[in-house]
Chains A and B, each alone.
Chain A
Amino acid sequence: MAPNPKVVDASRAADTVHDGETVYFGGTVLDRKPMELTRALIGAGRRDLDVVTFAGSLEIELLVAAGSVRSVAAAYVGLGRFGPAPRYVAGVKAGRFDDLEYSEWSLLGRLRAASMGIPFLPTRAGTGSETLAIHDFASVADPYSGDTYVALPPLQPDIALLHAWRASPSGHVQMASPPQHLWDVDVLAARAADRVIVGVDQIVSEEAIASTPEHTRIFGFEVDMVVELPRGSWPTSSPPQHDVDEGAIGTYVSSGGEPGTLDLARHS
């Protein structure tokens, strides 16, 4: 069997991420967060990361606690039904990193422009918003109607880190079916980013993928590295493997944001 360079361990994957790069973190709120890949980045001592995520939670908490972050670009950072993200909020208030708040349309629209390979995406969304004004987007006149739109430029992260159910050695990535809410935002991020690393609960054979093609959501040619990380999204969910570990998140919140409570090794 030919060696397959796509399957690597977490520390090798982290070595390919450099200080100062723009890193998209997949998953949304308490679902499918690439927690083990985040821990590996922190373990490798990465600094000055420009973090991008649609809806961030515990991965942002770990990165902020470790001092790895130069900026956080997100349309939401919080712990869902568990309330605010304590480390993130404290970091913003203390000005420890640049708070690049986005609206949903502006962040996902920029990723869509990158994914589509187009120079900008026009939208009506967010006109008059001070959150959009942070980004100083240009406007564009519709050459047909004359109406004015926000022109969202592409956002191509240097790297996207995702967590998914399973993948083959060649990098075909599968998700639960019917898929979890917001699954397609992960696929979008993979298609917008320059490089893609996917942590999965299981690596399975190419034959296993081919026998269940309805689960395949990202294709091997779109993926650079695959890392087998059972419970790699813990304590966030990973369908169909496990749901959110509410007890662990409750412990984190009641500890006031103690990163040690999110150590997977202690819970395996």
Chain B
Amino acid sequence: MTVSRGEIADLMAVALARMVVAGDVVGVGLGTPIALVAAMVARQTTQHGVHVLAGGALDVSGGVESYLRDPRDQRGLTPGFVPHLDSMDMAERQAMTLQFLRPAQIDRFGNLNTSRIGVRSAPTARFSGGLATADVPTLLPRVIAYHPEHRPRSLPARVDWITGSGRGWAGKTLKAGGTVAVVTDLAVIEFVEGHGRVKSIHPWSSASTVGENTGFELSLPEDALPTPEPTSDELEALEQVDPRRRRDEEVPDRTGRDRRVTS
């Protein structure tokens, strides 16, 4: 079974959307269309009451393209704009509850790397930097990661650099849950006490493919089911919020890789 970029982007987006719960206020960072589409699909399908804050604008109607417009062209589409420092305060006091992050690497603790490979003074790779990747896992109730290229170097035993700690923060009043799960192009994995546990496996993948492409040991519960295909409601919502399929841009071109996801 071969799979296209579009099918991967669709299933990743809906798998993320299904983790949005009633009452969530989802913050979406810069340049992560799958995260934005997922939050908007959740709002359109099962969680109508959730709020989506992206690019400084709240609950923009009209789809992904509308979020990318200049604020002056968002009149009539949004109830209002949130200054960035205010949105940081919302995260710190947990008025914002969830963010989807796209790291370069994630390990079994849910540690996230968006910084570098190698030593800081002479790295072999330097990514663009994490913005709030270090911050939100210890602020928000939940962070959910996604990675469109599931392979051992993306999901290693230990990330090369801990930009954001996966373990969260526990104080007397507020608690942050850290990175609770990762959605990849092969599976959905939950993090429980320093351990990765397969929640579901995508229809085009298998337990052995997931295991071979993960750099740390995974538990595979008996009840791990196939990730449900997008429902007709979800497909309709995807088409409405992202008709130009910006979500596909985050999925690498599969040329030469199709065999790995072929059964």
User: Is the Cβ of B121 less than 8 Å from the Cβ of A130?
Assistant: no
- Chain B's closest residue to A104 (CB) is B132
> Which segment of B17-25, B170-178, B222-230, B251-259 sits at the interface?
B170-178
Q: Decide yes or no: A124 and B129 within 8 Å by CB, A104-B135, A131-B115, A239-B70 being known contacts.
A: no
Q: How far is the CB of A181 from chain B (nearest CB, A)?
A: 4
User: Is the Cβ of A128 less than 8 Å from the Cβ of B71?
Assistant: no
> Does A9 have its Cβ within 8 Å of any Cβ on chain B?
no
User: Is the Cβ of A176 less than 8 Å from the Cβ of B31?
Assistant: no
Instruction: Report the bound CA distance from A128 to B135 in whole Å.
Output: 10
Contacts of A180 on B, CB cut-off 8 Å?
A: 70-71
> Does B204 have its Cβ within 8 Å of any Cβ on chain A?
no
User: Does more than half of chain B's interface fall in helix, strand or loop, or is it mixed?
Assistant: loop
User: Is the Cβ of A80 less than 8 Å from the Cβ of B31?
Assistant: yes
User: Is the Cβ of A76 less than 8 Å from the Cβ of B123?
Assistant: no
- Chain A's closest residue to B29 (CB) is A104
- Chain A's closest residue to B132 (CB) is A104
Number of interface residues of A (CB under 8 A): 53
> Which segment of A10-18, A93-101, A254-262 sits at the interface?
A93-101
> Does A42 have its Cβ within 8 Å of any Cβ on chain B?
no
Q: Decide yes or no: A178 and B74 within 8 Å by CB, A78-B128, A99-B120, A131-B163 being known contacts.
A: yes
Of the candidates B131, B135, B138, B176, the one having the most CB atoms from chain A within 10 angstroms of its own CB is B135
Number of interface residues of B (CB under 8 A): 48
User: Is the Cβ of A131 less than 8 Å from the Cβ of B172?
Assistant: no
> Does B221 have its Cβ within 8 Å of any Cβ on chain A?
no
User: Is the Cβ of A179 less than 8 Å from the Cβ of B138?
Assistant: no
> Does B216 have its Cβ within 8 Å of any Cβ on chain A?
no
Contacts of B131 on A, CB cut-off 8 Å?
A: 55, 75-76, 103-104
Q: Decide yes or no: A101 and B121 within 8 Å by CB, A80-B30, A81-B31 being known contacts.
A: no
User: Is the Cβ of A239 less than 8 Å from the Cβ of B72?
Assistant: yes
> Does B220 have its Cβ within 8 Å of any Cβ on chain A?
no
> Does A138 have its Cβ within 8 Å of any Cβ on chain B?
no
> Does B7 have its Cβ within 8 Å of any Cβ on chain A?
no
Partner of B135, one of A92, A101, A103: A103
User: Is the Cβ of B135 less than 8 Å from the Cβ of A125?
Assistant: yes
Closest 9 CB pairs of A and B: A128-B165, A78-B128, A103-B134, A125-B135, A181-B56, A129-B134, A147-B171, A105-B135, A76-B129
A contact residues vs B (CB 8 Å cutoff): 29, 55, 74-78, 80-81, 84-85, 88-89, 92-95, 99, 101, 103-106, 108, 112, 123-132, 134, 145-147, 176-185, 188, 239-240, 243
Given contacts A89-B126, A108-B85, A126-B134, 7 further A-B contacts (CB under 8 A): A78-B129, A99-B123, A103-B131, A128-B162, A129-B163, A146-B172, A147-B171
